Amino acid sequence: MPSPLPPPANLLDQAETICRRRGVRLTAQRRRVLAILSAAGRPLGAYEILEQMRAGSRPLAPPTVYRALDFLLEQGLIHKLESLHAFVGCPHPDHRHASQFLICSDCGRVTELEHEAVADSLRSIASAAGFRASRPIVELIGICAECDDASEDTPDEPAC
């Protein structure tokens, strides 16, 4: 069952604790990027994050956001969705994990799952092929239950 994201303040406090424990710094810029992703409730691209960071502040260059995203990815505080070229906050950054994502192509909702049997299966298959995955992430694109239910409530349009 997917776990809901904690409130952004909670997630930010948790990220601060994780970084302190690991001996790395969650700078103001990194914290701001994480706050923007956590509050968005949807995946955001780097330039969307940059636009939000520019609002009411001094001019920022894209490398500023990319460096922050690289740090947050390295620390497991966010995930990159390759199929969307976008980023989402991690709802459970307290431990490293292989993630699976359900991405709704209708509403854009992304649900992160952490199913160990899927991760084990992928590791086993990769190992048998002599391959070691550095980012064992699975992205399933389809229709979420809410959008599917909504489409069932809408009468089909007549075929031409």
Q: Within 61-155, where are the H helices?
A: 62-74, 116-128, 145-153
pLDDT, position 155: 59
What is the residue-averaged pLDDT of the chain?
87
Q: With bands split at pLDDT 50, 70 and 90, how would you rate the model's confidence at 156? A: low
End-to-end CA distance of the chain: 41
Largest CA distance in the chain: 63
pLDDT, position 11: 84
Q: Across residues 43-72, what is the average pLDDT? A: 90
pLDDT digits (tens, 9 = 90+) for 105-135: 999 999 999 888 998 999 999 999 999 888 7
Q: Within the chain, where are the H helices?
A: 8-22, 28-40, 46-54, 62-74, 116-128, 145-153
Amino acid at 16: E
Instruction: Give, in degrees to the nearest 5, the angle at Cα 104 between 101 and 6.
Output: 55
